[in-house]
Amino acid sequence: MTMPTPQCPWRMQVHHIHQETPDVWTLSLLCHDYYPYRAGQYALVSIRNSAETLRAYTLSSTPGISEYITLTIRRLDDGAGSGWLTRDVKRGDYLWLSDAQGDFTCDDKPDDKLLLLAAGCGVTPVMSMRRWLAKYRPQVDVQVIFSVRSPQDVIFADAWRDYPVTLVAENNATHGFIAGRLTRELLRQRVPDIASRTVMTCGPAPYMDIVEQDVKALGATRFFKEQFFTPVAEAATSGLKFTKLQPAREFYGRVGTTLLEALESNKVPVNAACRAGVCGSCKTRVVSGEYSVSSTMTLSDAEIADGYVLACSCHPQGDLVLA
């Protein structure tokens, strides 16, 4: 019998698992109680039903429409959460989820024109919202542009047949795909009225940063992007010492912590999205000290040589000095 954790009190049973792409799976869950959530929100999942390891995943289902609560997850080779959920969890197993969280939702946007931009697994809240809008606000003019690595990486490929979507493939574009990446010129061509639309985007942090620059340059003033937040532990008063040079500050983290956990528990400003060494948003420079890393996915060789790490994947071995 699995047990709830303080932050994840909702028990759900895996009904079935569907493979979306070569590295993405959707877990369909049965909740025997009413689970309130809004289209586009996410939940924390207790990994291996542990109170210490939590990961945030979008609820890719749509309230009032979907038969199941669904989580759509990309498997990462060194992902503690994604690896367990997509390799070890089987039909009939139980998972524990938190209350639904996040403000990346569409039901509070009164606008009659929306532009939804997604890349990779960032499409999960977009699909949730697209279904909701079609059902409950069919009068809204919705445009969707979905960027993928290649045509085989289109998540929810069958579902997109029900909704207009512009597909952009960086590699091996075939019929029905625009070749390349999302650009300002492409936005100008496909969405000439972008300045009058509310724009919502989700994807890797560098993608969202570029999107924000481009849509604002094209006149869009109502812009929203997804951010995941995982609750953090209380600040430590002993253990590993961290010295931050700018602005000058000293603080502590427990032994075994990641750099990101140490920063967040001490309320040191840091951006974090995927928390799995993929998106690159938590890039931080270490001036001195011993550490190991589990991912350098978005860092260049020059950045690594200069001491940059992904805070979520940096494991301090002793005291660190940070830029």
Task: Tell me how crowded residue 85 is: count the other CB atoms within 10 A of its CB.
Answer: 24
Tokens standing for residue 73: 């997850």
Name 75's Cβ contacts closer than 8 Å, sequence gap at least 6.
Answer: 23, 24, 25, 82, 83, 86, 87
Q: Please answer whether residues 296 and 286 qualify as being in contact, where contact means their C-beta atoms are separated by less than 8 angstroms.
A: no
Please report the pLDDT score of residue 269 as a whole number: 83
Q: What percent of the chain has pLDDT over 70?
A: 95
Question: β-strands 10-21, 54-58: how paired?
Answer: unpaired
Do the first three CATH levels of 10-97 and 240-322 match, i.e. the same topology? no
Class of domain 10-97: mainly beta
Please report the pLDDT score of residue 228 as a whole number: 63
Count of residues for the chain?
A: 323
Peptide bond into 192 cis (omega under 30): no
30, 154, 285 from 133: Cα distances, Å: 24, 21, 42
pLDDT confidence bin for 26, thresholds 50/70/90: very high
Q: How many helices (H) and strands (E) does the chain have?
A: 6, 19
Q: Which fold has domain 240-322?
A: Ubiquitin-like (UB roll) (3.10.20)
pLDDT per position as a tens digit, 207-249: 998 999 999 999 999 999 987 655 566 788 899 999 999 989 9
Phi, psi of 95 (to 5 degrees): -120, 155
Would you state the CATH architecture of domain 113-225? 3-Layer(aba) Sandwich (3.40)
The full set of domain ranges for the chain reads 10-97, 113-225, 240-322
Task: Tell me how crowded residue 95 is: count the other CB atoms within 10 A of its CB.
Answer: 22
pLDDT per position as a tens digit, 89-147: 999 999 999 999 888 999 999 889 999 999 999 999 999 999 999 999 999 999 999 99
Considering the chain, what is the average pLDDT of its residues? 92
pTM: 0.74
